[in-house]
Amino acid sequence: MAILNHFHREDSYSKEAFEALKEFLINLFPLVCRDQTDVERERLGELAMLPEWT
């Protein structure tokens, strides 16, 4: 979420950082694009309670 918040604030990234972010998101996609188990849903709920990083 922090990355998306930075985009919303129009922060700029270097070309290398943006390419690394794209690679990260591409690698993350298969993990989140499926049905989650009950344990995974519970863990995401716990993680959602963490304060936002800025």
From residue 2, give the alpha-carbon distance in Å to each of 34, 37, 39, 49: 23, 25, 24, 14
The domain of 41 spans 2-48
Looking at residue 38, its pLDDT comes to: 94
The answer to the question of residue 31 being in a domain is yes
The answer to the question of residue 27 being in a domain is yes
Looking at residue 8, its pLDDT comes to: 67
3-state SS, residue 52: coil
Q: Where are the beta strands (DSSP E) in the chain?
A: none
Backbone torsion region of residue 10, taken as left when φ is above 0, otherwise alpha when ψ lies between -120 and 50, otherwise beta: left
The answer to the question of residue 53 being in a domain is no
2-52 tens-digit pLDDT: 776 777 677 777 888 888 888 888 888 888 888 889 998 899 889 888 887
Looking at residue 46, its pLDDT comes to: 92
Total number of domains constituting the chain: 1
The answer to the question of residue 40 being in a domain is yes
Looking at residue 14, its pLDDT comes to: 83
The answer to the question of residue 54 being in a domain is no
Looking at residue 6, its pLDDT comes to: 74
The answer to the question of residue 26 being in a domain is yes
